[in-house]
Structure 1
Amino acid sequence: MLNLQAITKNFFLFLSNNKTLDRLAKRYGTRFGVDKLVGGETFSQAIPVIKQLNEDGLVVTVDHLGEFVESESEARERAQEAVETIDAMADNKLDCEMSVKLTSLGLDISRELVLTNMEMILDKARERGVTLQLDMEDSSRCQATIDIFKQLRAKYTNVGLVIQSYLYRSDKDLDELDEYNPYLRLVKGAYKEPGVVAFQDKDMVDRNLKQLIKKHMLNGNYTAVGSHDEEMINFTKELAEEQGIPKDRFEFQMLYGMRNKLQHDLAKEGYTVRVYMPYGMEWYGYYMRRLAERPANIAFAVKGIFSR
C-alpha cells in the first residue's frame, strides 16, 4: 500500500506532464513560490543572482526551462537563445556552465535538427570557454541522449552528461561511457518510471548511486554528485579521502533554493559546489517535479498563494 509521501510524489509527477496546466502556467507567470526555485523569467534577471552566488563562493549551471517543444522553429529559437546566453555569461564573467535538455532543441522532431542545434551551441561555448551538460530526461529518451553525447564528445571536450541511478541500465552505461573520459553528473532521477526499467525502492536507488559515484571516481573521471542527501555527500567525501582523490576532481551539485546552508558549508570546507539554477517562463514541469521530490517544497507554493 502506498504511503502518503508516495501518493503525493505520484500526484505531482502526474501533474508535471499535463500540457494544459503547462500552458496556463506560461500565461500566469511565476507564482506559487516558484521564484524561490527559479532564478528569473529571463537570463538577464538571473545574472545578478548568479553574481551573488559566485561572490559567496558557489559556482552555477543554468538551465533555460522548456518542455513539450514540438516545432522546428521553436527548437531553433531555443538554440539561438542558448548561444546568446553563453555570450552573456562570458561578457559578465560569470563562473557558470549551461545545462540543456535535448527535447527543447528538437530531439523529438529529428536527430539531424538536434545535432545541428547542439553543434551551433557547442561551437559558441568552446569559443567563449563555457562547458555544457546534457540533462537526462525520461527513460524513453535515454539511449538517444547517450548516443548524441557520444557523437558530440568525439568533436567537443566541453560537453558532459547526466546519468540517473534509478535506471537499471546506468551501471552498464557508465562502463560504456568510460572510454570518453566523461564529465558526468550522477543523480537519483526525477521522473516517474515503471518497474521494468527503474528501481522502485529508495534504498536500491541510493545504493546504486553510491556504486556509480565510486566507479566513476575510481575510473579517474571528473564527477559531479547531484544530491541534497547528506548521507550521499558524506559517502563521497569519505571515498575521496580514503582513495586520495583531490577535491578538484569532483564537485557537489544542488538545486537553487534548496539546502542553502549546506551549500555554503561545503564551499567553506573547500569543495566545489555548483548550484543548478533554472530560469525562464516555462517553469511548470520543473516545479512540479521539485514538489514531487520534496513535500516540504509545497510550503513555498502555499506561501506564494497568500502573499500576492
Structure 2
Amino acid sequence: MNLDLWYRQAVLSVAGSPRVEALIKTRARSLVRRYVAGESLEEALQAAERLEVQGVHAILDLLGEMVHREEEARAFQRGILELVRAVAERPWPKYISLKLTQLGLDLSEALARELLRGILREAEPKGVFVRLDMEDSPRVEATLRLYKALREEGFSGVGLVLQSYLYRTEKDFWDLLPYRPNLRLVKGAYREPKEVAYGDKRLIDAEFLHLGKLALKEGLYVAFATHDPRLIAEVQRYTQAMGIPKERFEFQLLYGVRPEEQRRLAQEGYTVRAYVPYGTHWYPYLSRRIAERPENLFLVLRSLLGG
C-alpha cells in the first residue's frame, strides 16, 4: 500500500476511537485553536477581520456534518442563516461554505434540498456566495444531484467542489460543464477504498493539475485549494504561459496552514482565501487535518504530552 494512503487511513481509523476523541478534546485545545478560529461566530468574524488586514479573504464555515436527527439539521440551518446575516453586514467579500450532511442529507435529500434552498434564498440577495463542500464518495452522487437541482431552480450564487483522488471526477466534471460551475478543486481528505480513489500522491497531484487546467481551458472560474508549493507554482506557471488573467482563478488554503504563503500570494496580486472553520463540532475536521500530514500528528503528540 502507498505510504501516504496508509498514513491517512491509519490516522482516520485511530481518530474514530471514542477514547482518542475524548483525549484530544481534553488535552489538545491549543492545537485546535491553530486550525479552528473558535467556537463562536464572533471569534470567526474576528479571525476573518485579521485576515482581511493581510489581504487574505475568509471562507467562513460553521463546522458540522452527518447529523442523525432532523432537529439537528434545522438547528444547523439556523446557525448558517445567522452566519449569512453577519457576513452580509461586513465590507469584505462575502463567502461561506457548508456540508450537505450538516443539513440532513443522510436523512433525506428532500430535507437537505429544502434547508439549502432556504439558505440560498437569503444569501443570494445579500451577495453571499455559498460553497457546497464535497464529502466522502458515498455522498458524491447526491451532492451533485442537489447542486444541479438548485441551479435549475435559478440559484447562481452557489459553487461546488471536486476531488482529484476519486476515479470518477473527470466524468463528473464533464457532466457538470453545462452548468458552468464555480469550482473548488481539492485533492480529497476522506478515507476511501482503493476501488474508488487513487492512493498514490503522484497520481492525485497529476489529476489535480489535469482537472484544473481542463476547467480553465473550458472558461470556468477555478479555486485551487492546495498548500503544495509545487502545485501552486505550476498553476502560476501555466496561467502565465497561457495568458489567463488572475481574475479567472484563485488560491484557497486552510486557516492556520502556511499563513506566510497566503500573504505572499496575496501580495503578488492573486485572490487568496483562507478556509476559516468555527463551532463546537470541530473534531472530524481536525482529524482530517491530522491525517493530511505526518507533521500534524507530531503536533498532536506534543500537545498531548504538554497538556
| TM-score, with structure 1 as normaliser | 0.93
Q: Secondary structure at the match of 1:228?
A: coil
The letter of the residue matching 2:183 is L
CA distance in 1 between partners of 2:275 and 2:129 (Å): 14
Match of residue 75 from structure 1:
73
Q: How do residues 143-222 of structure 1 correspond to structure 2 at under 5 angstroms?
A: 143-154=141-152, 155-222=154-221
Answer yes or no: is 1:33 the counterpart of 2:31: yes
Match of residue 44 from structure 2:
46
CA distance in 1 between partners of 2:117 and 2:139 (Å): 19
Answer yes or no: is 1:224 the counterpart of 2:216: no
Number of residue pairs the alignment of both structures matches:
306
Q: Name stretches of at least 5 consecutive residues in structure 1 with no aligned partner.
A: none
Provide the identity percentage: 40
- Contact between 1:32 and 1:300, CA under 8 Å: does it hold in 2? no
CA distance in 1 between partners of 2:2 and 2:47 (Å): 39
- Residues 114 and 227 (structure 1 numbering): CA distance in 2 closer, same or farther, change over 3 Å? same
The letter of the residue matching 1:70 is H
1:200 to partner: Cα distance: 1.3
CA distance in 1 between partners of 2:23 and 2:305 (Å): 17
The letter of the residue matching 1:247 is K
Q: Name stretches of at least 5 consecutive residues in structure 2 with no aligned partner.
A: none
1:257 to partner: Cα distance: 0.5
Q: Secondary structure at the match of 1:88?
A: helix
CA distance in 1 between partners of 2:103 and 2:92 (Å): 24
- Contact between 2:162 and 2:169, CA under 8 Å: does it hold in 1? yes
Match of residue 292 from structure 1:
291
CA distance in 2 between partners of 1:8 and 1:197 (Å): 18
The letter of the residue matching 2:148 is K
Answer yes or no: is 1:107 the counterpart of 2:105: yes
Answer yes or no: is 1:123 the counterpart of 2:115: no
CA distance in 2 between partners of 1:15 and 1:101 (Å): 23
| TM-score, with structure 2 as normaliser | 0.94
CA distance in 2 between partners of 1:94 and 1:285 (Å): 29
For residues 259-285 of structure 1, what are the alpha-carbon distances to aligned partners after superposition, in whole Å with 9 as ceiling and x for unaligned?
111111111110011101111111111
Q: Secondary structure at the match of 1:44?
A: helix
- Contact between 1:32 and 1:305, CA under 8 Å: does it hold in 2? no
1:300 to partner: Cα distance: 3.2
The letter of the residue matching 1:63 is D
CA distance in 2 between partners of 1:2 and 1:252 (Å): 28
CA RMSD across the alignment: 2.0
- Contact between 1:252 and 1:272, CA under 8 Å: does it hold in 2? yes
1:298 to partner: Cα distance: 2.5
- Contact between 1:25 and 1:282, CA under 8 Å: does it hold in 2? no
For residues 6-52 of structure 1, what are the alpha-carbon distances to aligned partners after superposition, in whole Å with 9 as ceiling and x for unaligned?
54422221144456765x48975971511000011011111111001
- Residues 56 and 27 (structure 1 numbering): CA distance in 2 closer, same or farther, change over 3 Å? closer
- Residues 21 and 280 (structure 1 numbering): CA distance in 2 closer, same or farther, change over 3 Å? farther
CA distance in 2 between partners of 1:209 and 1:60 (Å): 23
- Contact between 2:254 and 2:274, CA under 8 Å: does it hold in 1? yes
Q: Secondary structure at the match of 2:286?
A: helix
CA distance in 2 between partners of 1:78 and 1:156 (Å): 21
